[in-house]
Amino acid sequence: MTHEQWYLAGIMRSLHRYASDGLVVVIMVHLLRELSLGRHRGVRWFSWVTGSMVMIMVFIAGISGYWLVWDQLAQYVAIVTTEWFDMLPIFGEPIARNFMSPTALESRFFTLMIFAHISVPLIALAILWMHLQRVSKARINPPRGLAVSVFVALMVMSLVYPATSQPPADLAMVPAEIGLDWFYLSLFPLLDTLPGNLTWSMAGVFMVILFSIPWLPPLKRAKAAKVAKVDLDNCNGCSRCYNDCPYNAISMVARSDGAAYKREPIVDPAYCVSCGICVGSCPTATPFRRRSLLSPGIDMPDLTIKKISDQVKTQAMGLTGSSRIMVFGCGDGPNLSRIASPSVGIVHLACIGQLPPSFIDFVLARDYADGVVLTGCNENSCSARFGIQWTKDRLAGERDPHLRRRVPRDRIKMVWAGISGLGQLRRELEQFGEQLKDAPPMALQQTTPLQQTVNTVKEGV
């Protein structure tokens, strides 16, 4: 393929090989990212376990691909793999015997390998579909620029370093030197040299650790918060919670309480990660109501809208100075207790997406603070996937519920600093404090231009 028809088959072969190597890199980066963001614990064990299954299948598919070439590398891979499996007392006849003599190698065996090389990725695809069942709006296609650049890079590599085969397999001799594909075959030298019982034990221990990672310490999130709870008395069936939930945990079903609305949300506890984003989307979650009525259509039992409203009021009471700032943030961003001061109050949320925009209006309109800061994870690594994005969209008026237009935008700041961004948050708070000193008085900012003219005329009179 590489030499006789390099322009079509050869390039396709090289693209196939380099893209497969790239897949290993992408899977590893994705695995480490999810691990570092802690997105594998609690009910998210499902994504971790199905992801691990896909990863193993990708390796099986990649290794079986090397057999198909039937060069000296394939011979090495075939012998090492079959000898390794022969160490298990499950096969009546040693399968490595297939490769002991040229006559013993049957074409049936290659048919089996081709079948494996095609069926294993198809099974992996089915598991990948399951992998994505518990996340909503998963971004499957990369941005166009990234897709084009990766394709061009792979094409250039395919033209400059076309994939080649090694000398043909010769079962009469043992290959002296072979080049390995380190992406798929890096463990083969170990399988080849270490005793079989040791490598099988190592493989067993690795598997047990891999699949039990969601339940291993540190169990920071093991004491899972309670899942979102619907209160039909305050729900109008608008579906915003359903649209905003990043984990497919909410379904809209026929109304069961006889109210005039058609539908109602139900929460599946097996899917809910307790991020509170649904509360931030609910039109009935507003602090402007009387305390006895502060009960939205959907709420987090551990951190209710009432409790958030109480935090705001308690913090506001302690604030002094000419630029008082109320910071709303989550536990996955910078350590908020380290920035509390007489001029900075802290309100804790499950995720920044739990904050209904009306709270910002509430803080400024009631003069609980002079400015509001929203903080949390790094911009592209929200622990609850869409907390930052939905918050930005709601404040920009691109997603319900909108932040009212009367709220002065120069009194709001977003600092997506991440868990290691305490220094950045401190610096930005300081700058924001200075900026607030120069801001026009709130009373003027919250009136319309017409009202301002009326006020000015009145003042003149």
Q: Which residues bind ligand HEM (CB under 6 A)?
A: 27, 30-31, 34, 39-40, 44, 47-48, 51-52, 54-55, 58, 128, 131-132, 135, 138-140, 385
Cβ at position 237, least distance to ligand SF4 in Å: 5
Question: Whole-number minimum distance, CB 380 to ligand HEM, in Å?
Answer: 10
Tokens of 398: 């691109």
Closer residue to ligand HEM (CB): 117 or 411: 117
For the record, the structure tokens of 317 come out as 């009471």
Q: What would the two tokens of residue 142 be?
A: 């990369």
> Shortest approach of ligand SF4 to residue 405 CB, angstroms?
22
Q: Are 320 and 343 in contact (CB under 8 A)?
A: yes
* Contact of residue 333 among ligand SF4, ligand HEM, none (CB under 5-8 Å per partner type): none
Residues that bind ligand SF4 (CB under 6 A): 227-228, 230, 235-241, 245, 247, 249-250, 265, 267, 272-278, 281-284, 297-298
CB of 242 to ligand SF4, least distance (A): 7
* Binding partner selected for residue 298 from ligand HEM, ligand SF4, none, CB under the kind-specific 5 to 8 Å limit: ligand SF4
Nearest approach in angstroms of CB 296 to ligand HEM is 24
What does the alpha-carbon distance between residue 265 and residue 245 come to, in Å, rounded to a whole number?
Answer: 11
Which two tokens mark 455?
Answer: 């006020």
Residue 277, contacted partner among ligand HEM, ligand SF4, none, CB below 5-8 A by kind: ligand SF4
What are the C-alpha distances in Å from 350 to residues 170, 320, 372, 422?
63, 27, 18, 18
Lookup: tokens for 350: 């499950």
Residue nearest to ligand SF4 (CB): 297
Q: How far is the CB of 23 from ligand SF4 (least distance, A)?
A: 29
Q: Which residues of 302-327 are buried (b: 16+ CB within 10 A; e: fewer)?
A: ebbbbebbebbeebbeebeeebbbbb
Q: Which does 274 bind (CB under 5 to 8 A by kind): ligand SF4, ligand HEM, none?
A: ligand SF4
What string of DSSP letters covers 375-424?
Answer: E-S-TT--TTSSHHHHHHHHHTTSSSSPPPTTS-GGGEEEE---TT-HHH
Question: 45 or 200: whose CB is closer to ligand HEM?
Answer: 45
Q: Which residue is nearest to ligand HEM (CB)?
A: 51
Q: What does 249 bind: ligand SF4, ligand HEM, none (CB cut-off 5 to 8 Å by kind)?
A: ligand SF4
Q: Residue 174 burial by CB count (10 A; 0-12/13-18/19+): exposed, middle or buried?
A: exposed
17 binds, among ligand HEM, ligand SF4, none (CB under 5 to 8 A by kind): none
Quote the CA–CA distance of 413 and 428 in Å, as a whole number: 9
In angstroms, what is the minimal distance from the CB of 382 to ligand SF4? 12
Give 168's strand partners: 71
